[in-house]
Amino acid sequence: MGPRDALLAPSIMVVAGVALVAAGFALAADPLRAPGLQDVSAVPVLVSALLFFTVWDVAQDAQVGILSAVCAVLAGIVLVAARRTPRSPWARPGAELGALAAVTALLVGLAVLPDAMVVVPAVAALAAWSASVGVVWRRVDLQMLSPVGACAAWMVFVAATINGGPPWYTIAVGTTLLGIVSLWRRDRRALGSDLAGAQVVVLEIVAVTLLVGASFVEGITVSVAHAVMAVALGAGVAGWGC
């Protein structure tokens, strides 16, 4: 590193300075009656974290883990805070910071490819975030994204570690679709719509087929153990539908 590079490299003082900028935005929001400053403060908070990683030369996989954990923790805090203080001014900035942390973790993880395991915590954190924020903001679309994210994280994990057969994937996708159907029906019930609409029924049939189908086929072609699994899954689906 040359003298010029040394001058341009971030230091711990730069990290502290950016963190103070974030604190300034957050604390000035109430006196200035500008709640948008709380939202803006999320950006320098994230920038200070990234600069901290650079200063301390934190490995990329560790960065993904830290940012994902931050997102998951913030998702939990936002959910608890919203229930205790429904109109908390910090709920939205917390949710925004969590989303920024998760997306940044995902981008850092993608830079480490082909080591796909690195992105699993980021995708799982996004799933937790969408579930929490979807409940707080009463957004069924965000709630539906949660099982999709969890399924994606599971499939990446299986592909990178277990490398199992089709049931490892089809069961996860079927369960995800059943979760989406459940959320969809709850939303339609709240709106007074038909719970057995054509789109809902078709999606549910696809979900059950994926959940049971692969295990049933492998029960015939591979091992009877898969057939037992198919029967157990079928019983579970029947119980779920009751």
How far apart CA 167 and CA 213 sit, in angstroms, is 8
Cα distances (Å, whole numbers) of residue 145 to 24, 40, 134, 172 = 34, 25, 9, 14
Q: Please, are residues 52 and 15 in contact by the beta-carbon 8 Å criterion?
A: yes
Location of structure tokens 């940012």: 67
Location of structure tokens 């069924």: 140
Number of H helices, E strands in the chain: 11, 0
Q: Which residue from 1, 82, 90, 74 is spatially nearest to 38, judged by alpha carbons?
A: 90
Q: What is the DSSP letter of 114?
A: T
How far apart CA 105 and CA 64 sit, in angstroms, is 5
User: How many residues are there in the chain?
Assistant: 242
Cα distances (Å, whole numbers) of residue 95 to 70, 135, 166, 216 = 11, 12, 36, 42
Residue type, 148: V
Per-residue pLDDT of the chain (242 residues; tens, 9 = 90+): 444 444 456 789 999 999 999 999 999 998 998 989 999 999 999 999 999 999 999 999 999 999 999 999 999 999 998 888 877 888 899 999 999 999 999 999 999 888 889 999 999 999 999 999 999 999 999 999 999 999 999 999 999 888 778 888 988 999 999 999 999 999 988 888 888 788 888 998 898 888 887 666 666 666 666 666 666 766 676 666 54
pLDDT score of 227: 62
Task: Report pTM.
Answer: 0.86
Q: Please, are residues 94 and 74 in contact by the beta-carbon 8 Å criterion?
A: yes
- Burial environment of residue 33 by CB neighbours within 10 A (0 to 12, 13 to 18, 19 or more): exposed
- State the first-to-last Cα distance of the chain, in angstroms, to the nearest integer: 67
pLDDT score of 217: 67
Q: Please, are residues 41 and 90 in contact by the beta-carbon 8 Å criterion?
A: no
Element (H, E) at 59: none
What token pair was written down for 42?
A: 């999320």
